[in-house]
Amino acid sequence: MTGKGDASSTITRQRIASRTPALAGTSLGLYASRLVAEGFAGPRSMIVLLPLILACVALGLYIAHLMRGWQFSPWPLILLLGYVLYPHPTPMLAGGILLFAIVIFAALHPPKIQPPWIEVGTFLTSLGLYVHTLAPTVLPADSGEFQLVAPVLGIAHPPGYALYTMLGKLFTLIPLGDAAYRMNLFAAVCGALTLALLVHLVRRASDSTGAALIAAAMLGLSPTFWSQSTTANIRSMTAAFTVLSTDLLLHWGKKKEPRYLIAFAACFGLGIGHHASLGLLGFPFLIYIIARAPRILIQPRRWIRPILALGASFTVLLYLPLRSGMGTPFDPTPIRSWGDFVNHVLALGFRGDMFYYRTLPDLMARLDVWVEIVRLQFGHLLPWATLLAAVGSLIPRRKRDTAGLLVGIWAVNTLSAVTYKAPQTVEYLLPSYVAMAALLGYGLAMVRRRMPRWTGALLMALLIVAIARYGNVHYGDFRQLHEDRSARAYAESILENAPADTLVLSNWHRATTFWYLQTVEGMRPDVEVRYVHPEGATPNQEVWLERIGDNVEERPVVVTNRFHAFQYSDYYWTPLHEAWLVRREPPSQPPSNVTERKATFGANIRLLGYTIEETELTPGQEVCVRVYWQPTGALERSYSSFVQLLGPQGVVGQDDIAHETDYAPHKLCVDTYRFPLLLHTPPERYHLITGFYYAEGEDWERLPVEGQDHLVLQEIDVRATEEPPATLQRMNQPFADGLHIRGIDYDRSVAGETRIYLHLHQDTPADEQATVHLLHEREPVAQQRIPTLPAGASTTLALDVPDDIQAVSLIMTNREERPVTRLGPWHRPTGDLQIFLPQRTVQYVPLGGEMAFLGLDRLPQSAEPGNSVDLTSRFLSLRSLTRDYSISVGLKDRASNWERKADGTPAMGAIPTLKWLRDWRVGDSRELVVPDHAPAGTAEATVSVYDAFTLHPLHVLDERLVSKGYGTHLSVDTLKIEE
């Protein structure tokens, strides 16, 4: 019986094996034919499709036959049927399934590559990616300082970064770009070297090249590591020292050769000298050493030479006092004594920030932040895969030392980073990211050994696809940042236009860019740039006013920051690009760069001219207009002035300024209007208009000018964006005219309505305008014309439908009202698109062109006076952000006139908006206390976002909410106050 069963199963396997090439070839052919059919715009008829499918299937069968002849199993090609059978055209899914099949094939037939070339290939590939997305020039904040310090061999802020500075100097000698670009290149080399070392570590520890490459891909494509590998910073070198020290120590643990322990000690010492926080990793390192060689503690001869090597590595720190004594061009805190040296190297000025969060409520809050950070770095799948891999690697008794060391590195760095009071927790966790990647690779190799070969291949393919998908999401962001020169443009514009011998009072974020341009590139040496730092308990706005008062009588003063207290001072604040020139006396004449435009509003307001920063705009982009005017006589009443962008569909952007009656005749007034365009602004030509108005009872009246109620300043072109804003619901729905729906978002902020945002992209030139129609039970509920778009352009439509319907059908028609065909698989015509509307409260409220407010969580229905209330607001970044924004949440009772607010950097300072990439969803939790004196009633929960330096708010880009008075803030919920 047994023999017959074995023979039967053998025959079955042989039959399956004989049919596999045919099925694999057919799958490849069908997959290829669908890709070709969907690669071109327009519908496909069966007359065209049938020959295409037959030709592709024939070619697929031939390839499968060749693979079998070459002793390669073609069965992974059968997986391509996944996309063949998928009911919607989705290029990303098609690419993911192809990558899935390729990885499985490579895992079953691994190429024979000698070990050194694996590391070399990793280094060159990752270096190519990072150079391709490298920041192009000087950057703000710490990056700008590092770009300045290395070329002039200066001294950076504590702990000094001596080794980084000296190595960076070598990179500045490379004849590529400017010195700032070369320092960015240094970061790219450090990042690529880290990944090559990680591959070496995991491959040698696990004897699995595939697992090592997965570990490197996980780390290398994570957003923060990618960012640090494209901008001048010290974190990429910190990561390199982490992985190199770990690799040397593991090699010693395996070989027990003294030279590896000596090399480890020297490398670890250099790492500590580079950044003292790495010293905390000494705890897991020491535990590993004792675990691998318990008797080493009683054998001094074995650890004397490593200790000497450790001590010798610290001699690199002598650069700091020696260079300071020479009088380097950049040395903000000169080192003149042993105390100065110790204080600088150990960064004792920050010692109060270590383990700052240590109470249980703080730790729980920081734990939530850490979970958020890990999700942003690795998505949802990879952290769980890392946890399972870590558990799997701890099961074999012989392998626990290696896994334990990696877990220890992760735990120590995570604990120190989440308890540290710093606004860049997302970067301080970089050593833990290294440990997580190593754990995933090492644990994956351990787990695969206990799996069937094909199961292990499927697991590896799943992880690679998840990593590649997440990396692909952020590739566009880094390509966009590769073109970003905003930091240089900001500093150059102010330095070029500042009066002679100006003093620029700057925040740290901007100061380093100024210093770089002056010290390295020799720009405007007559201007002094002084960093205004916080001074203990003194409010920061008072510090700035003191510095202004100390200098404004002697020389021109420019400030980069704006505080509410400034408007109550005796100074006059003249805009200078995005900064302000401070004067004791008001200016008497407009600057020379003003476009003259003279007109008289009413009887006694004269317009003199204006300036505008950009004359070609895109939806979501901010308009910045400065209008210069003066009263020709005493003003009879209070007026308000406005600037609008006016088109055929109405106003798409506006800002208003209120004016009192105390203006002296002929006083020069400067109004700065900053407002972004609505995301659904159609691309066309608009009129930039201005005017004055006053309240007339419950209405308002505009002042006449040149026979109109407004004055046209000039015409502005609004062009379409290349990519639509980030969306919560990605999709790819093509139509016959080359138009694709790339995403849909819903907002129910206004009672009785559901707003549907349609994000569209035009692949091919549009011959004519199309119109979107939304139907409910075949009755129209909304429609809007799509602007004519060039190839490669995008636009967003906003359509409002009643909120009591559950679904709508979407159709498109051309100018002759004929339907535009919706395309399905193989671009075959298909039916109407069904959109199912959310029945719960959802929000997607654009704030500027920067982010969208997604709602408020955790707000209770009621609270009593004295109770604390947790307000957690959620945001979606619409693009990669390059500004530092503060989030403000509040509780306000208009009836009893009390308000409580909490402002600050998102996520307890751990995820500043400067680090946000497109599609990031970030939560911000703040606690407010209801006042003890609050009477029973209802309080509004409010949310707003503003620039941390200029206080300029992000405008609400929803004309429905703006009409209700929510121009720069949102009233998002209500809280009942009980007695």
pLDDT along the chain (979 residues), means of 10: 52 54 89 91 85 91 80 83 92 92 85 82 96 96 95 93 96 94 97 97 91 95 96 95 96 89 95 93 94 85 89 94 91 89 85 81 89 93 92 77 93 92 88 96 88 86 92 91 93 94 94 96 95 87 92 94 87 88 86 90 91 89 92 86 90 87 82 91 93 85 92 93 91 91 94 94 82 92 91 93 93 90 92 90 93 89 87 93 93 86 90 91 91 87 92 92 88 85
Q: How would you classify residue 327: left for phi > 0, otherwise alpha for psi between -120 and 50, otherwise beta? A: left
Residue 656: which residues within 8 A CB-CB, separation 6 or more? 640, 641, 642
How many Å apart are CA 905 and CA 883, to the nearest integer? 12
* pLDDT in the model for residue 841: 86
* pLDDT in the model for residue 51: 92
Question: How is residue 873 written in tokens?
Answer: 């607001």
Q: Using a CB cutoff of 8 Å and minimum separation of 24, what contacts does 97-101 make? A: 97/31, 98/31, 99/461, 99/464, 99/465, 99/468, 100/461, 100/462, 100/464, 100/465, 101/76, 101/77, 101/461
Strand order in the sheet with 851-857: 845-847, 851-857, 868-877, 921-929
How many Å apart are CA 459 and CA 108, to the nearest integer? 12
Helix (H, G, I), strand (E, B) or coil at 347: coil
Residue 831, amino acid: G
Question: How is residue 743 written in tokens?
Answer: 């995403």
* pLDDT in the model for residue 11: 47
* pLDDT in the model for residue 395: 74
Beta bridge partners of 339: none
Residue 851: which residues within 8 A CB-CB, separation 6 or more? 875, 876, 877, 878, 881, 885, 913, 916, 945, 954
* pLDDT in the model for residue 861: 85
* pLDDT in the model for residue 350: 77
Residue 339: which residues within 8 A CB-CB, separation 6 or more? none
Q: Which residues of 678-690 are buried (b: 16+ CB within 10 A; e: fewer)?
A: bbbbbbbebebbb
How many Å apart are CA 460 and CA 217, to the nearest integer? 12
* pLDDT in the model for residue 12: 47
How many Å apart are CA 446 and CA 209, to the nearest integer? 13
Q: Quick one: which of 434, 124, 426 has its CA closest to 271?
A: 434
User: What global pTM score does this model have?
Assistant: 0.92
Taking the alpha carbons of 485, 490, 491, 494 in that order, is the dihedral positive or negative?
positive
State the DSSP H helix or E strand holding residue 428, giving kind and residue range, or none if neither: helix 425-428
Tokens 């700091």 locate to 320
Residue ranges of the alpha helices (H) in 532-657? 540-551
Question: How is residue 475 written in tokens?
Answer: 């590739």
How many Å apart are CA 250 and CA 248, to the nearest integer? 6
- For residues 210 and 451, the answer to whether their CB atoms sit within 8 Å is no
Residue 171, amino acid: F
DSSP letter at 538 equals: B
Distances, alpha carbon 691 to alpha carbons 635, 794, 964, in Å: 15, 33, 22
How many Å apart are CA 282 and CA 431, to the nearest integer? 13
If 0-12 CB within 10 Å is exposed, 13-18 middle and 19+ buried, where does residue 204 land? middle
Question: How is residue 409 written in tokens?
Answer: 């590195």
Helix (H, G, I), strand (E, B) or coil at 462: helix
Question: How is residue 82 written in tokens?
Answer: 């996944």
- Report helix, strand and coil shares of the chain as percent, to nearest 5: 45, 25, 30
- For residues 246 and 438, the answer to whether their CB atoms sit within 8 Å is yes
Question: How is residue 904 written in tokens?
Answer: 């600050």
Give the count of beta carbons closer than 10 Å to the beta carbon of residue 733: 21
- Residue 487 CA, chain-centre distance (Å), reads 16
- Residue 345 CA, chain-centre distance (Å), reads 32
DSSP 640-652: EEEEEEEETTEEE
Q: Quick one: which of 58, 72, 77 has its CA closest to 111?
A: 72
- For residues 78 and 20, the answer to whether their CB atoms sit within 8 Å is yes
- For residues 745 and 729, the answer to whether their CB atoms sit within 8 Å is yes
